[in-house]
Chains A and B, each alone.
Chain A
């Protein structure tokens, strides 16, 4: 029985363009305090456009109703549990939004004089130091804009060091459980990708690794805990195997939420890693971004970090642009500063002990979900899990119900689905990451919902296959969308 949701009323909403009518306004500009100009005369008639065809014209009231109505068609963390495995959908503290909008920070221009940007520089320096302590690494760059961008930066750093040592090498090794960004990144950095099959217990197969690592291997990219939520117990051994052959250990820090305050990558042999501030450090996902993907490195990589670097010059912060070994810039300016402010606010709010407590709660929640759901769903890998747990749809598939169907049915119970069909090494994966944000009441409701769905599969599989029913949009035809792409509005 579904107890958590009740229907909710809001208007259907047309597209902006369909509400548009000439002369409607949602703006007023101040009067010009300088003489107006004729654009055609100033810019040349050939450079001035007649109009922006199709561009909307709506009133202020229509504008706010439009976006407010659209917003109610979204699910959000603020509505409830959002157990997307590997995405770490935790609470986004509102204080972070407030401090990022303080005028002196929000209106700081990246080219304003360093003497008038000391506050921004101090924020970045403090965040760099905090992230270095949390990861056990020696230096941090905040320039990358997101996780995948951090990966690229990290692999370019490895390439630069190896090149300086005489041979950039040819291959990057990547476990079959990795995120798709890892192989895509390696390719952009000019490396061939070689996949490593996981062991029967779902972890890195160090035997296989030892055989694969040779003088052509630049690095192993590993996520730890891996995408099954399992800690790579042989990580130190893997690091030794790599280092013995002059190769590097790159860690994808997407799952750092399981480790903060418990274990530090720098202490278990990692050479380079990226963090996702929009995962572990609570900055909002915003429907797909922005994020930030700082990269933390061991000392030997420091000369290669992107320019500019913060440096202390007397009592002031300054930028160092003259770094001859740097890989160059990966982005204009200094990074997604507004996201960095939010992440630092989160670290300050928790403090050292608090960050560790958050990790403990995140792991406890995932272990609890596993314990409660194990009788109802197939658990292909039984090693102890950390912050997330991955089931498979094997039992439900016998009744013709797949993980995607179970996920859609979960929506009817008032929850966002878990991550569907990932990692690829699990057939029909249900990847569940509750994060520390969920209390016992919400978790118990989620567990109840999952158990109820498992029972529905036994009694009425078709009910689950046609879900969701409670949403204002029923199952969306993604196949037609791809076959006949309509990617923009056009007048009828």
Chain B
């Protein structure tokens, strides 16, 4: 087999050196009852050509050549070529977690730059080296707020991504962390501050708000922060569309930011792998989950980087750790780092402005459901969204996400997203179908 480098004669020499008569003897200490007495019921191995053929056929069974107006947490942005060039280097791709700092400076330096850029984007003081994704960053942020405040309850806006809320509920169930939701304004699509204020109490550890929210709307973070802070709770700000940070005010009122970086050159890839982040204020750093890279020096006095503050982590702290996370999304975070480097200060803003212009062009030709200000996605009124989408598919267009599944009250609407990759001609077709 091509992945096994030994010749038969080398195997024999090694068995001999171990005073073992046959390969089977290597397993003779296993109790008879546990041994598998038959071959695995899996087909024989296949060649590279056949593997490519198999996956090409599967890919052909998916959508191919469609324009898509889906967003809802996963966005179609162009991936600069440099991104795959860099992450395909074996030194990044085939290395482990950088515990041995002397021979891991490449990964460590890149993570340090990643942490720095996430801080610049979010306006926070510290950012970790990544979480699994945005959806799992939310419960990790909530647990962090619980540890930091000594309170237990979490209030989350209904305008946070519905699947993120589901994940929070799964994590919260056995932690004595009750989760309650508060609503959004039916006209504006922004959070209902009165509802939040009503549900707030002194036992609440965190208020969780997404901006731009699930409906694409820039939400009222300042007002949410005031309400949360007045009762001693922390404000957790969630984002799913990282490109918006190129244009929008950073969530400076947040105590913790929990976000998803998929927009930064990470393929949609049918839902993952992506990269989540948690960023926060300096005073909460000891309660943060996940790896952190810090700057230091080597014995010759040169600048060097290493993993640090690991007494928060499971391999040192075991059941008292801030999280059970070990493997994170380092290579995906590197993709985002290269993306941020390629676009840079001007480019990210220009990219965000293009997204804004495209989405508003489309919105101008349909009936937006909410009056709130939005970035690159919005809810459009659509009498029978499934039928509209069916008609669009015939024109090789995947329309917006029908919202009835997540919001029964919005069954007559769909969530549409336009990015720099959306063509005007396709948007005109979508607008026509929705008219």
Contact = CB atoms under 8 A, between A and B. Distances in A.
A55 B345 contact: yes
Contacts of B358: 32, 34
B203 interface: no
B50 to A, nearest CB: 8
A487 interface: yes
Contacts of B101: 473, 476, 478
Contacts of A278: 327
A71 B61 CA distance: 37
A341 interface: yes
Interface string A159-199: 10000000000000000000111011111111001000000
A68 interface: yes
A358 interface: yes
B246 interface: yes
Nearest to A178: B318
Given A36-B357, A109-B74, A189-B174, A473 B98 contact: no
Contacts of B273: 145, 289-290, 292, 336-339
A29 B349 CA distance: 11
A299 interface: no
A425 interface: no
Given A16-B113, A29-B420, A331-B136, A357 B327 contact: no
Contacts of B343: 26-27
Nearest to B176: A190
Contacts of B353: 36-37, 39
B35 A108 contact: no
Given A15-B113, A111-B74, A356 B40 contact: yes
A76 B90 contact: yes
A184 B314 contact: yes
A416 B103 contact: yes
10 contacts: A25-B347, A27-B343, A52-B345, A52-B349, A104-B61, A107-B268, A146-B326, A287-B104, A474-B300, A487-B285
Interface string B345-368: 111111101101110110000000
Contacts of B176: 190
A440 B57 CA distance: 38
B255 to A, nearest CB: 17
Contacts of A58: 341, 344
A358 B4 contact: yes
Nearest to A15: B113
A151 B323 CA distance: 12
Interface in A91-135: 91-93, 95, 97-113, 116-120, 122-123, 130, 133-134
Given A84-B96, A488-B125, 5 more contacts: A52-B245, A105-B55, A187-B324, A287-B97, A353-B44
A324 interface: no
Contacts of B96: 82, 84, 87, 89, 285, 287-288, 416
A186 B199 CA distance: 31
A417 B99 CA distance: 10
B35 A485 contact: no
A477 B298 contact: yes
B93 interface: yes
Contacts of A411: 100, 102-103
Contacts of A122: 58, 61
Given A64-B86, A105-B55, A267-B34, A476 B102 contact: yes
9 closest cross-chain pairs (CB), A and B: A286-B331, A333-B271, A104-B59, A78-B90, A190-B174, A351-B45, A288-B330, A119-B61, A439-B5
Interface string B90-126: 1111111110111111110111110111011100011
B72 A111 contact: yes
Interface in B254-299: 267-273, 275, 285, 291-299
Contact of B170 (A97, A263, A328, A489): A328
A473 B302 contact: yes
